[in-house]
Chains A and B, each alone.
Chain A
Amino acid sequence: MPGIYSLWIVGRNGGLLYSRDFVQLPPIEFNDKLRLASSWFGMCGISAQLSPMPDSSGIQLLQADTFDLHSFHTLTGTTFMLLAEPQTPDAAELLRTTVYELYCDYVLKNPFHEMDQVIKSELFDQNVVALLQATNRRWGVGLPPQ
């Protein structure tokens, strides 16, 4: 069954800027989240370095036993991570277009926001939650934690 678990945003220096779960998940401590985000950032760099082919990007998709981790690297170096059920259709597309659009509209266009600052925009949060929960509902995934 497809479904989207959570969205993380990692800044240009590997810091975690935003994280949000869309279904009930076993909790991860906040410190662990920070460490996971920055190790993902490092792994993306190393995987590009180790590439057998020239001009590699960072990791776009990690397929684990129980989840898929889609990752989108913007041109300015921000990384979006979307944790989803394996075989979730269009997850990469969702990240690249809709989530990124919301980020541009509600975070980047906010005159008080500075790059690599933790994202505290309520509008962004509300819209992301509404969007991804609507997506989950379309697939019939259970109610979100409140």
Chain B
Amino acid sequence: MPCFTFYIFNRKGACQYYHEWQRLKPVRSGAGSQEEDFKLMFGLFWSMRALSSALDPKNPAKQQMGAPQRIGDGCSFNSFRTSAYKLHFLESPSGLKFVLTTDPSVGSLAEALQYIYASLFVELVAKNPLYSPGEPFLFEPFSAALNKYMRTLGLLS
């Protein structure tokens, strides 16, 4: 089962949705608590994005590192990989951040995350009248569709 965890963050950096399929290293021995884990995760990809746009070798007009950035500006990143996992990242134009961690051997999931955003999140969460933007949610149809999609990708047995 090569997919581990899935996060959705709102544009302010609060975690709206979290699901774990498999987590052999418990949060307690990582960040300490689940809250801390969300905060560290947001900090990690936020600074990763700042680093990507500061390092960007193809943009001569890039801003200095740390300058405030509008959503979608500058160079972003798709994924990073360590020896134990690979983290896939997608930022929607509205500032929602989708994060999926999988086994390091998995290829690019940029299109899969785009599908999760456009066809699952928008259809099953954003169009749900009970959903208030930016707030945590737990909708059964979304979770079921996410599991089903992971299975069709072959990431979940």
The interface of chain A, by Cβ under 8 A from chain B, is 5-6, 25-26, 28-29, 32, 35-36, 39-40, 42-43, 46-67, 69, 83
Contact = CB atoms under 8 A, between A and B. Distances in A.
Interface in B38-94: 40-41, 43-44, 47-48, 50-52, 54-62, 64-66, 75-85, 87
Nearest to A48: B82
A54 B24 contact: yes
- Most central of B47, B50, B77 by chain A CB within 10 Å: B77
Interface of B: 4-5, 20, 22-25, 30-31, 37, 40-41, 43-44, 47-48, 50-52, 54-62, 64-66, 75-85, 87, 101, 108
B40 A52 contact: no
Contacts of A60: 81-83
Contact of B5 (A39, A52, A64): A52
Contacts of A57: 82-84
Given A49-B30, A52-B20, A67 B55 contact: yes
Contacts of B85: 51-53, 56
A64 B47 contact: no
B61 to A, nearest CB: 8
A83 B57 contact: yes
A6 B108 CA distance: 24
